[in-house]
């Protein structure tokens, strides 16, 4: 989803402005709306994931995103653009990183941090495909590119979602592939693996407060600054490169 639209958003902006003459402010507002929607949906999405499982949420998210993308290929007004963009943002949130992370946390204990880091590379690595989207926009036009992208997500994503399972125990398996008796008991990481938090307790942890604070601090020299510079230089396909480069330290950790 990230490779086909969100990383390629700058390329779509170029062709849409050329065809409709819409302002940059409108496109910025749509992207800001998508980010706000993701933040507002977060707490509800966590409850939905626990209630119905990651696989169900991923399937629903992929379906909403695909339908929104195919409807996006037919837009002709700012209102239609905002509505379809909202659908795509909603679908990408429901079927994106959070439900996958929930499943990973349940399946891994000792190497949980590494597993989460590897999974987080999907979005930035997908940015490497942005140039293919830009070529498709030139070759077949943005409407066909958008429609076929939505269909591809639906046809490829739904079968892959079948591989996602919430917890290993119902399948007769164990986290890390080891029964509890075989798991090592040394180190605080292993001892804390079974500790869970209530929502109220989680909201009070220093780790969550640090993440909230860090998310609100702009980083002109980091991903945002690099992406802004590339977009201003009229190089939308290259705007995904900072994600790929800056994610590598996370994988190593």
Q: Structure tokens of 138? A: 């030139």
Render each residue's pLDDT in the chain as its tens digit; 253 residues: 777 877 888 899 999 999 999 998 999 998 888 878 777 787 788 788 888 888 999 999 999 999 999 999 999 999 999 999 999 989 988 888 888 888 888 888 888 888 888 877 777 777 778 888 989 999 999 999 999 999 999 999 888 888 888 888 777 777 877 776 654 554 444 444 445 667 677 667 776 666 656 555 544 444 444 444 444 444 444 444 444 444 344 443 4
Q: Which pLDDT value is given to residue 122?
A: 75
Which pLDDT does position 80 carry in this prediction? 95
CA distances from 216 to 66, 136, 211, 219, 246 (A): 31, 36, 9, 9, 18
Question: pLDDT at position 137, please?
Answer: 93
Q: Which tokens in the block code for residue 53? A: 């499982």
Domain ranges, ordered by start, for the chain? 2-172, 197-241
The pLDDT, as a whole number, for residue 187 is: 45
Which pLDDT belongs to residue 150?
93
> Cα dist. 199→37, 39, 127 in Å?
20, 16, 34
Nearest partner of 114 among 104, 123, 100, judged by Cα:
104
Q: Nearest to residue 34, comparing CAs of 75, 80, 93, 79? A: 93
Distance CA 196, CA 201 (A): 9
- Contact 133/240 with Cβ under 8 angstroms? no
pLDDT of residue 152: 93
CATH architecture assignment, domain 2-172: Up-down Bundle (1.20)
């Amino acid at each position: 989803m990230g490779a086909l639209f969100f990383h390629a958003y700058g390329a779509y902006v170029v062709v849409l402005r050329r065809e409709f003459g819409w302002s940059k402010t409108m496109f910025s507002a749509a992207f800001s709306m998508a980010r706000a929607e993701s933040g507002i949906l977060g707490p509800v999405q966590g409850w939905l994931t626990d209630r119905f499982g990651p696989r169900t949420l991923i399937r629903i998210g992929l379906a909403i995103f695909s339908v929104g993308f195919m409807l996006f290929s037919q837009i002709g007004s700012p209102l239609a653009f905002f509505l379809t963009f909202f659908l795509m943002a909603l679908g990408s949130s429901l079927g994106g990183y959070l439900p996958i992370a929930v499943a990973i946390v349940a399946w891994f204990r000792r190497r949980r941090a590494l597993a989460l880091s590897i999974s987080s590379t999907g979005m930035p690595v997908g940015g490497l495909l942005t140039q293919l989207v830009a070529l498709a926009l030139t070759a077949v036009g943005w409407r066909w590119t958008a429609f076929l992208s939505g269909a591809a997500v639906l046809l490829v994503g739904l079968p892959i979602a079948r591989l996602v399972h919430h917890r290993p125990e119902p399948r007769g398996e164990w986290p890390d592939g080891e029964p509890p008796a075989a798991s090592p008991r040394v180190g605080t990481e292993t001892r804390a693996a079974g500790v869970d938090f209530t929502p109220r307790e989680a909201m009070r942890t220093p780790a969550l407060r640090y993440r909230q604070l860090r998310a609100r601090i702009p980083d002109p020299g980091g991903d945002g600054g690099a992406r802004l510079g590339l977009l201003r230089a009229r190089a939308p396909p290259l705007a995904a490169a900072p994600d790929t480069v800056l994610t590598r330290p996370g994988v190593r950790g």
